[in-house]
């Protein structure tokens, strides 16, 4: 495809999305919910078509991706059912549009209301998780936004099929073509044009690896809600319950090691490394997890690989974990997380109220947890139905980006003839 053709396609997508936003933003709650329920049913009824498309993507990427990344790409009956349930859950959420956030009156009689409104046109760029297509479509519709999707080459067939099926429901209810669009090429030039379409797009949300986020942040003329690395930590403080420490830490790493909420570094107080770590290490090894540790951790097990400085700032997205010994308690642990983490999700395992409070207050991340797995960093688990991503930005949205985070606001001012002197 020539550069001029790509530019022509992208500008057409942008124009259609902007035009469609004028009607999508006014959809009533019942219509939005009915479309979501219809789309959920359509996806369930077309499971075979989705699985066939996913098989093409899996076959093309078997030799290119590790097992954890292939797991992110894989769809099966249960995962499709989960996608469909996500759409149903979003339909049950309160409509975030038209809510009066606050209101007040002025001494001159003016009445002012701050009211929630859609953002407008949203562009979502993602890589290997095809479920993002359905989640993003549902969240944008519920929040009255139009959507332009750009999936990665790895998930192209799966994502395109999911989008086409959802678009059938949009068409059934009379939504314009521009309400939901999928960029029909995997050419990287298309992303470049999308990032510069500030005359049509209001927000770009990138989901993917560090190189993608860096490119979007550097090149975009459109406001970006970043979804940076998931360098997540689980800190086992000296008062931690032994069983909780093992169960939570192993789950945080190994439930799905390729997702952004997976723990990549375990921190453990020096006082308890001999009592708490051996069982955790044993469980991780049973699950074929490679362990990299500092000197004190390596002394516990001669099969552990010596960690390098680079390990503390690495998002493995694989069956690999680094373990570091903490010598000076919660303050040292917090300093390490804030120095090496990505501001995504970090957890403390502890029975000490003061340590927990210090950790929760001082960790500079979008999600901070106590005595639970970092794998709960998920909009669905937060009761949001689904999420477009976990924002590591501090402006506009932080943490899970659900329907409420895809809105802005405007002021409605009513008077009875006032003029300003």
Q: Which domain holds residue 22?
A: 3-227+401-414
Q: CA-CA distance, 337 to 268, in Å (whole number)?
A: 12
pLDDT at 228 over 80: no
Asked whether residue 407 falls in the same domain as residue 343, the answer is no
pLDDT at 242 over 80: yes
Q: CA-CA distance, 395 to 223, in Å (whole number)?
A: 10
Q: CA-CA distance, 110 to 85, in Å (whole number)?
A: 45
pLDDT tens-digit readout, 246-268:
999 999 999 999 889 999 999 99
Per-residue pLDDT at 211: 83
Tally of domains within the chain: 2
Two structure tokens written together for 397? 């949205």
How far from 37 is each of 88, 103, 142, 173, 311, CA to CA, in Å? 6, 34, 12, 12, 45
Q: CA-CA distance, 117 to 137, in Å (whole number)?
A: 17
Q: CA-CA distance, 218 to 209, in Å (whole number)?
A: 14
Asked whether residue 329 falls in the same domain as residue 358, the answer is yes
Domain with residue 364: its CATH number is 3.40.309.10
Q: Is residue 61 part of a domain?
A: yes
Asked whether residue 332 falls in the same domain as residue 197, the answer is no
Q: Is residue 419 part of a domain?
A: no
Asked whether residue 84 falls in the same domain as residue 158, the answer is yes
Half-sphere exposure of residue 131: CA atoms within 13 angstroms, side-chain side: 24
Q: What percent of the chain has pLDDT over 90?
A: 86
Instruction: State the chain's mean pLDDT as an integer.
Output: 95
Per-residue pLDDT at 226: 83
Q: What percent of the chain has pLDDT over 70?
A: 100
- Which residues neighbour 149 within 8 Å (Cβ) at sequence distance 6 or greater? 123, 124, 126, 133, 136, 137, 159, 163, 180, 181, 182, 183
pLDDT tens-digit readout, 71-99:
889 999 999 999 999 999 999 999 999 99
Per-residue pLDDT at 384: 82
Q: Is residue 392 part of a domain?
A: no
3-state secondary structure of 211: helix
pLDDT tens-digit readout, 49-58:
999 999 999 9
pLDDT tens-digit readout, 276-329:
999 999 999 999 999 999 999 999 999 999 999 999 999 999 999 999 999 999
User: Within 10 A of 309 (CB to CB), how many other CB atoms are there?
Assistant: 7
Asked whether residue 303 falls in the same domain as residue 262, the answer is yes
Asked whether residue 158 falls in the same domain as residue 251, the answer is no
Find the mean pLDDT for residues 346-374: 98
Q: Is residue 396 part of a domain?
A: no
How is the chain split among helix, strand and coil, in percent rounded to 5?
Answer: 45, 20, 35
Q: Is residue 388 part of a domain?
A: no
Per-residue pLDDT at 299: 96
Choose among 263, 183, 267: nearest CA to 5: 183
Lowest model confidence (mean pLDDT) among 33-47, 283-297, 335-349, 373-387:
373-387
Asked whether residue 220 falls in the same domain as residue 241, the answer is no
Per-residue pLDDT at 374: 98
Find the mean pLDDT for residues 25-43: 98
Asked whether residue 218 falls in the same domain as residue 283, the answer is no
Q: Is residue 381 part of a domain?
A: no
118 class by beta-carbon count within 10 Å (0-12 exposed, 13-18 middle, 19+ buried): buried
Confidence of residue 18 (pLDDT cuts 50, 70, 90): very high
Asked whether residue 179 falls in the same domain as residue 193, the answer is yes
Per-residue pLDDT at 408: 97
Q: Is residue 394 part of a domain?
A: no
Asked whether residue 296 falls in the same domain as residue 368, the answer is yes
> Which of the 8 DSSP states describes residue 272?
G
Asked whether residue 11 falls in the same domain as residue 137, the answer is yes
pLDDT at 69 over 90: no
Q: Is residue 219 part of a domain?
A: yes
Asked whether residue 65 falls in the same domain as residue 119, the answer is yes
What's the chain's Rg over C-alpha atoms?
23
Domain with residue 176: its CATH number is 3.40.605.10
């Amino acid at each position: 495809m020539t550069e001029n053709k790509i530019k022509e396609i992208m500008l057409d997508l942008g124009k259609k999305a902007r035009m469609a936003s004028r009607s999508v933003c006014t959809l009533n709650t019942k219509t939005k919910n009915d479309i979501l329920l219809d789309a959920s049913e359509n996806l369930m009824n077309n499971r075979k078509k989705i699985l066939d498309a996913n098989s093409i993507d899996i076959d093309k990427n078997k030799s290119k991706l590790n097992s954890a990344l292939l797991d992110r790409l894989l769809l099966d009956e249960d995962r499709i059912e989960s996608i469909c349930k996500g759409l149903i859950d979003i339909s049950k959420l309160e409509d975030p549009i038209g809510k009066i956030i606050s209101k007040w009156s002025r001494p001159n009689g003016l009445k002012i209301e701050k009211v929630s409104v859609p953002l407008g046109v949203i562009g979502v760029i993602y890589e290997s998780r095809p479920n993002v297509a359905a989640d993003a479509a549902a969240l944008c519709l519920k929040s009255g936004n139009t959507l332009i999707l750009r999936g990665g080459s790895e998930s192209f067939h799966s994502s395109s099929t999911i989008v086409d099926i959802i678009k059938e429901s949009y068409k059934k209810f009379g939504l314009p073509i521009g309400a939901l669009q999928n960029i029909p090429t995997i050419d990287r030039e298309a992303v470049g044009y999308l990032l510069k379409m500030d005359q049509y797009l209001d927000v770009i949300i990138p989901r993917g690896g560090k190189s993608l986020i860096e490119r979007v942040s550097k090149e975009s003329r459109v406001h970006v809600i970043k979804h940076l690395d998931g360098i997540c930590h689980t800190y086992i403080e000296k008062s931690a319950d032994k069983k909780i420490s093992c169960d939570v830490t192993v789950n945080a790493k190994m439930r799905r090691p390729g997702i952004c909420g997976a723990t990549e570094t375990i921190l453990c107080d020096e006082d308890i490394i001999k009592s708490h770590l051996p069982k955790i290490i044993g469980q991780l090894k049973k699950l074929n997890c490679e362990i990299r540790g500092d000197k004190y951790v390596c002394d516990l097990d001669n099969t552990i690989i010596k960690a390098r400085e680079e390990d503390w700032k690495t998002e493995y997205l694989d069956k690999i974990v680094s373990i570091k010994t903490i010598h000076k308690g919660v303050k040292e642990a917090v300093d390490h997380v804030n120095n090496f983490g990505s501001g995504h999700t970090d957890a403390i395992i502890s029975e000490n109220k003061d340590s927990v409070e210090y950790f929760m207050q001082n960790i500079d991340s979008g999600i901070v947890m106590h005595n639970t797995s970092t794998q709960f960093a998920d909009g669905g688990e937060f009761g949001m139905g689904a999420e477009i991503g976990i924002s590591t930005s501090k402006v506009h949205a932080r943490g899970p980006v659900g329907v409420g985070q895809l809105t802005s606001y405007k002021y409605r001012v009513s008077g009875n003839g006032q003029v300003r002197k």
